[in-house]
Structure 1
Amino acid sequence: MARNKFDADEEIEQKFNPHIIMRLAKWIKPYTKWMVLSCVIMLVSSAISLTSPYLTRMAIDKAIPSANYKMLVIIAAVLLFSTLIVRILLAQKLKIMTRVAQKIIVNIRHDVFTKLQSLPFSYFDSRPHGKILIRVVNYVNSLSDLLSNGIIQLISDLFTLVVIIGFMIAIDVKLTMVCMAVLPVLFIILISMKKKQHEAWKQESYKRSNLTAYLSESLNGMKVTQSFAREEVNQGIFNELCQKCKTVWIRAVNINNIIWPSVDILSTLGVTLVYLAGINWLGETVTIGTLVAFAGYIWRFWQPIQNLGNFYNSMVTTGAYIERIFELLDEEDDITDKPGARELPPIRGHVQFDHVDFSYEPGNPILKDVDFTITPGMTVAIVGPTGAGKTTIVNLLSRFYNAEKGKILIDGIDIQELLIKSIRKQVGVMLQDSFLFSGTIMENIRYGRLEATDEECMAAAKAVQAHEFISAFPDGYNTVLSANGGGLSQGQKQLISFARVLLSDPRILILDEATSSVDTHTEKALQQGLGELLKGRTSFIIAHRLSTIRNADVIFFVDHGEIVERGNHNELLALNGHYAKMVSGVFA
């Protein structure tokens, strides 16, 4: 469970594979024609811009010595026009690729969010939510530059290099060989720094993830922090995480910064060698125009080399983030529909647990040989000490987790053979921790049944005794709530959550400590409203209040993952066992 701590690095078990970047092709493919168009624009603009040194050579070696003003004017006009065309083309390319990159980013986010919604509870239980959030936002954002500029720029730079080398060879083969003599040194530097670069940026992703996780946790727990006057301690922890982020960032940037100065130094060295060779080494007469033109091509030759170095840096940096994105997308989802799974037809509410075992972690069983049958319309109360496995039973019924052994059947059908969505549409669940989304109260009640009318939403609220306090707000049902119902009492949040579940009209109703935060007066009124709603509906109620469970048709007392007692209220009292001790207050 070390992954569940904000200060624990989430190590990626598999080694970095450069081919992982090729998986981006899935999202790039739909925009191939636009990327090809951008590539063509870049190639045309590069070809046009590369005529400049050649035209300069003509001006110096031919037009100026012969005082051919007409040729000079034509050359100047061509240079001016080509520069204008290049700028227009580059602006169009930037416009196209910015739009394409953002569309790709949206599609990646869509797939990541879709994956998150299909992952089981165990995934979210095993890590801070901040470490999940950073994957969807920050790491996906890091792909933007790579997609909008990097890929097309790479193709353009490779094309530019080929054309430049062609021009240089056409001008002077020997000078070309001298210019490229320093390239092996650059390749050695790039290869030697690759592993260090990737490791440095991977460490940076670890620390940034930890910082985001702690920030998210701190914001969610701010009331607790202030209640215990922990501000200074938490500030110290945050500062320490920030310092670690700073340290690994600086180290990663310093390693990156070895690359581009190397390119700059080597490019200057290449030009110097060309000048020396042109003046002293070749034993031939080299015209000034040739030397100037060649120098122009040399600088243009090293520009794409430098761009390739920057692209390499970006690829290594982004590669560390892409690993995180694909790690999430590749996360094993064991709560999935089996091939050939079928829709659950309208049910009566017959539920059977057939010798079910379950554990969250291997070797630590939570449920052991749970076996029972519930007929339609029965109300089942599940009681027992904390950690006994009560909530796990109802979570298995909703297929939030899969049973390890045994079967769970609804109306005689193994839930493993059913579509998950079709099960949850007919099984209404109110979890122990009620959660409200930002939006109006009406939108929160309608959350699970979007087609419901306002009147139906209000009827559900009235049934759970929420209508009175909702109507007391100035905006009534249109009152806008902040995240998780800020400003409402815990009891009010639970009543709204109750209305949300009841509106979905489930055939099987699960209430997990649904009345734990409701005051005694409201609970009595709530029980009256629920009396009619529970009729004809199979219900599972997890509660500790005697008033909530005493009228259940059957009560299960669960201890250490087993149903140790079962029967109605009077039958269990007569046993004078665990349940009787709990009722009398002896049970701790």
Structure 2
Amino acid sequence: MSREQSEKMPQRSGGRRGGHGPGGPGMAMPVEKAKDFKGTLKRLIRYLRPHKLQLIAVLAMAVLSTIFSIVSPKVMGEATTKLFEGIYGKLQGIPGASIDFQYIWEIVLYLIGLYLLSSLFSYVQQYLMAGVAQKTVYDLRQDVNGKLNKLPLKYFDARTHGEILSRVTNDVDNISNTLQQSLTQLITSILTIIGVIVMMLTISPLLTLIAILTLPVSVLAITSIAKRSQKQFVRQQKELGQLNGHVEEMYTGHKIIKVFGRERKSQQQFDEINGRLYEAGWKAQFISGVIMPIMSFIGNIGYVLISVVGGILVTKQTIKIGDVQAFIQYARQFTMPITQTANIANIIQSTVASAERVFEILDEAEETPEAAKPARIEEPKGNVVFDHVKFGYEPNQSLIEDMNIRVSPGQTIAIVGPTGAGKTTLINLLMRFYEVKGGAITIDGVNITEMKRGDLRSLFGMVLQDTWLFNGTIRENIAYGREGATEEEVVQAAKAAHADHFIRTLPGGYDTVLNEEASNISQGQKQLLTIARAILADPAILILDEATSSVDTRTEVYIQRAMNELMKGRTSFVIAHRLSTIRDADLILVMNHGTVIEQGTHEQLLEQGGFYADLYNSQFSKGGMDQEAG
């Protein structure tokens, strides 16, 4: 599986939501840790500052909800004590002894009120926190989206699309889920721990000591098991990634597998990976699953000790029986928030790591700022000049040293040369995807650095070798070339690109919906649609990068005619590998190692007998694809 394929698969770092990892409470998936935890956390908190009033309200609601929830067992203990005293009095034959049901019912109603208030405050807390979380993430998404629009093309060239998408979607979602769920859980858990300890101490310091002594044993058991299971979880994630990659490759290359008869080999690979995944998954789940029985065992020992010691204290009339019952409830409440807090700590580590990855995008160097008073070409003619242009992708390495090109309006300029010669680089500089290191590029006498990038790029229409179509109708894809295009203009553009006929043969015609990869039409048909889109855009300057490479020879002839019509009166830059397609160009630039080594018309360059002549003749001597077109 390629790196890009693996990056595209949605993955979430760190623990699962809801405070529990696989196998129950206390277990979390392996977490990714931030390089600068404190700095990133402070920066993330700055996004929460505009909502500090709502956060204070959330904290207040959490305190009230927890107080009402914690007081309840103590109140219930009063009812238990009253009931016990009444039954005990009757059994002992004490005169006038009876069960005070009126008092017990008052306690029950009081408890119902406490639970309702606790639930109400908990609801308000979740409601407020949901708003804070979504507003915070909304601001973060706005900042990231704005930043992506300001980043230079070199940032995207240096990273896979999957990596960027993972930061913008998965990492931001991770932050959102933590703010909305885990943060409120953390607040409630900490308050519950404090409140329960206080209530237990008010009942019996001795019983509190017994309850607390069971904690180190629980922590020791959890950590020893966690270390063993975490290794298996890491292995499980690794095998899962390999399985996903294998399945993705097998389905995307399904036809190739069939053609070469590799079905059995593919099945064997799947079985091997699936077997390893089963083994790792089974061990991970089994080992982590052991933690609950062990915790229950330790907890039950604690309950037995509390019950025995509590019973002794009751017989000595040191505490009431209802207090013992309340204490047992508190002991049960005590272990869960501690486990949740430990688990949420892992989730927060993962969230801060996600935030760090998002902030790395926000800290990237932006494009050169726009000119304070940008120039605008109202009626572009297409006069393009490269004046002593110098450029290199790396600071210490120059690809283009001293490029000088003059293009008159309406000329067709062909750019040829071997792979890596700098043909696409020249186009990237022209459209200001990259900034020149020296010299200047002007259009109609205006330096492109003095124009807004949007205004500059609106002068160009592009048809690339790699087609780009989005999920939508064919009509929408063509109309993408110009906002507000009419139905008639869309059809005329399709006819000019010789796409109208095949469009009308489709079941939905112009309303045929293309899927995400536009795989429901052929590669050649995709190219025809992108050409129609460029025709509809009616740009001042055309850039054609092997625009006809994906169509058959006959269709190529039609497209070439359409292109010739389209290029009339427009400055056109044509990147070509098949040299027969650019013989009629007004000027051919022959590039090698970032430098224009030859320039002239087709005939002039052949007469020179240089690099171009060798390149041209080699295509025919090898029986190249151009032969029938030549």
Q: For the superposition of Structure 1 and Structure 2, which TM-score range results when normalised by the shorter chain?
A: 0.7 to 0.9
**RMSD, aligned α-carbons:** 4.5
Shift of 1:540: 0.5
Q: Secondary structure at the match of 1:468?
A: helix
- Give CA deviations for 1:140-198 in whole Å, capped at 9, x if unaligned: 55455423321112112222233323323333344434433455666788899999999
For structure 1, which segment, 254-263 or 454-463, has the greater mean C-alpha deviation from structure 2 after superposition? 254-263
CA distance in 2, matches of 1:545, 1:254: 62
> What's the counterpart of residue 69 of structure 1?
101
Q: Secondary structure at the match of 1:485?
A: coil
> What's the counterpart of residue 411 of structure 2?
378
> What's the counterpart of residue 497 of structure 1?
530
CA distance 1:572–1:547, change in 2 (3 Å): same
CA distance 1:7–1:297, change in 2 (3 Å): closer
> What's the counterpart of residue 81 of structure 1?
113
> What's the counterpart of residue 479 of structure 1?
512
Which residue of 592, 607, 610 maps to 1:574?
607
> What's the counterpart of residue 529 of structure 1?
562
CA distance 1:60–1:464, change in 2 (3 Å): closer
Q: What are the residue-to-residue correspondences of 1:302-317 with 2, within 5 Å?
A: 302-317=335-350
User: What amino acid is the match of 1:15?
Assistant: K
CA distance in 1, matches of 2:80, 2:325: 9
Shift of 1:554: 0.9
- Give CA deviations for 1:84-128 in whole Å, capped at 9, x if unaligned: 444455456556656765676676666656655665555555555
CA distance in 2, matches of 1:252, 1:397: 55
> What's the counterpart of residue 291 of structure 1?
324
CA distance 1:475–1:298, change in 2 (3 Å): closer
For structure 1, which segment, 233-242 or 558-567, has the greater mean C-alpha deviation from structure 2 after superposition? 233-242
Q: What are the residue-to-residue correspondences of 1:393-404 with 2, within 5 Å?
A: 393-404=426-437
CA distance in 1, matches of 2:301, 2:165: 47
> What's the counterpart of residue 382 of structure 2?
349
Which residue of 63, 75, 86 maps to 1:55?
75
CA distance in 1, matches of 2:386, 2:194: 70
Bigger CA radius of gyration? 2
> What's the counterpart of residue 189 of structure 2?
157
Shift of 1:511: 0.4
Shift of 1:553: 1.7
CA distance 1:235–1:395, change in 2 (3 Å): farther
Where structure 1 has 5 or more consecutive residues not aligned to the other structure, the ranges are: none
- Give CA deviations for 1:408-465 in whole Å, capped at 9, x if unaligned: 4434454445433332222222221112212111111122433222233223223323
Q: Secondary structure at the match of 1:149?
A: helix
Which residue of 489, 496, 500 maps to 1:456?
489
8 A contact 1:3–1:126 mirrored in 2: no
- Give CA deviations for 1:306-338 in whole Å, capped at 9, x if unaligned: 3212322433455555555555x357355x242
User: What amino acid is the match of 1:59?
Assistant: A
User: What amino acid is the match of 1:338?
Assistant: P
TM-score (norm 2): 0.76
CA distance 1:217–1:409, change in 2 (3 Å): farther
Q: What are the residue-to-residue correspondences of 1:551-566 with 2, within 5 Å?
A: 551-566=584-599
> What's the counterpart of residue 469 of structure 1?
502
Matched, 1:507 2:540: yes
Matched, 1:167 2:199: yes
CA distance in 1, matches of 2:303, 2:47: 41
> What's the counterpart of residue 208 of structure 2?
176
Where structure 2 has 5 or more consecutive residues not aligned to the other structure, the ranges are: 14-31, 87-98, 623-630
8 A contact 2:126–2:184 mirrored in 1: no
Q: What are the residue-to-residue correspondences of 1:266-277 with 2, within 5 Å?
A: 267-268=299-300, 270-275=302-307, 277=309
User: What amino acid is the match of 1:345?
Assistant: R
8 A contact 1:112–1:136 mirrored in 2: yes
Higher relative contact order (CA closer than 8 Å, sequence separation 6+)? 2
CA distance in 1, matches of 2:59, 2:543: 58
8 A contact 1:354–1:408 mirrored in 2: yes
For structure 1, which segment, 446-455 or 189-198, has the greater mean C-alpha deviation from structure 2 after superposition? 189-198
8 A contact 1:134–1:209 mirrored in 2: no
Shift of 1:74: 0.7
Q: Alignment identity in percent?
A: 38
8 A contact 1:130–1:213 mirrored in 2: no
For structure 1, which segment, 70-79 or 395-404, has the greater mean C-alpha deviation from structure 2 after superposition? 395-404
Q: Secondary structure at the match of 1:564?
A: strand
The total of aligned residue pairs comes to 585
Q: Secondary structure at the match of 2:465?
A: coil
CA distance 1:487–1:161, change in 2 (3 Å): closer
CA distance in 1, matches of 2:345, 2:576: 59
CA distance in 2, matches of 1:484, 1:321: 29
Matched, 1:541 2:574: yes
User: What amino acid is the match of 2:369?
Assistant: K
CA distance in 2, matches of 1:160, 1:258: 26
Shift of 1:467: 2.7
8 A contact 2:5–2:162 mirrored in 1: no
Q: Secondary structure at the match of 1:50?
A: helix
Shift of 1:245: 6.6
CA distance in 2, matches of 1:129, 1:249: 30
